Structure 1
Amino acid sequence: MGSTIGKAMDENMKKQQEFMLKTQRIQQERMLQMNNLMRERMMAAQVARARDMFHFFAVFYGFACVGGIAGFMKKRNPGVIAPLLPLTFVFMYQGDMAYGDKLVRIREEADRIMDKEPHLLELPHGLPTFSSIEAARLKQIDENRVNQGHDIFL
């Protein structure tokens, strides 16, 4: 009689464990999906911001070009159009970021770094472990207790 109850309990426990693993897996998949959707939204916002900045900079660059060329024609001084050279590079960079394939090149370079130079990505002191996190948590609790004790005597 005891063995049949034990068998039923073991089967029930195995079913519960399988159910828990399945729900954990679904939860983890949902978290990964949510994180990816949030990353995509943040990237879309970055691209939109770059395009907006490009439009404002394009107007500024246009006025600078017109003013610089007008000043050059009036005074025949090349120093008047000299600021257009660095502005041209900044304008091209912003245009590439907003409408070009700069983000693709950045992602490819990041992939290359992850594949060929993983040592650049290592955290100082390595990845935190449960024990190091727990030790820091306990230390914080102890410091809070000590600080509370000092407040009494003030």
Structure 2
Amino acid sequence: MEENFKRNQDFITEMNTIKIERQLQMRKQFRDRIIALEIAKARELFFWYGSFYLISLAGALAGYYYYYRYRYKRKLITLAPLVPLSFIMAYQADLAYGNKIHRILVEAEHIMQFEQELLALPLGIPTAASIDLGRLQKDEQKKLHPLLPPV
């Protein structure tokens, strides 16, 4: 009787450990996907910022040149605010009506397949043992310093 109880208890403990490890692995995979999507979004936005920067730089240089060459003629400087606003509108239109989401998903899949080092956790995947160790350390800390707030 006692042997069956011990075997059942060991089985339940093993199943709980497996369950925790599966949950940790599942959370890591979800986190990897979210991080890959965020990196892909940042890369896509960088292309837009780069384009805006280059066009603004070219416009500034051209404006400097034309200002000194044709300063007595009518200036187009009043249209300058249209440049950043045009980029913002084009970015939002691409996001809403274009295939930007598809490009972001493709880039995220590329990151997950070929750039796994970007998704690595600082100390690796936590294990059931490391979680139990952290819990035991926290309990020990509570026993030693009961009045300190938990960290």
TM-score band (shorter)?
0.3 to 0.5
Structure with higher helix content: 1
| Higher alpha-carbon Rg | 1
* TM-score normalised per structure 1: 0.45
Greater relative contact order: 1 or 2 (C-alpha under 8 angstroms, separation 6 or more)? 2
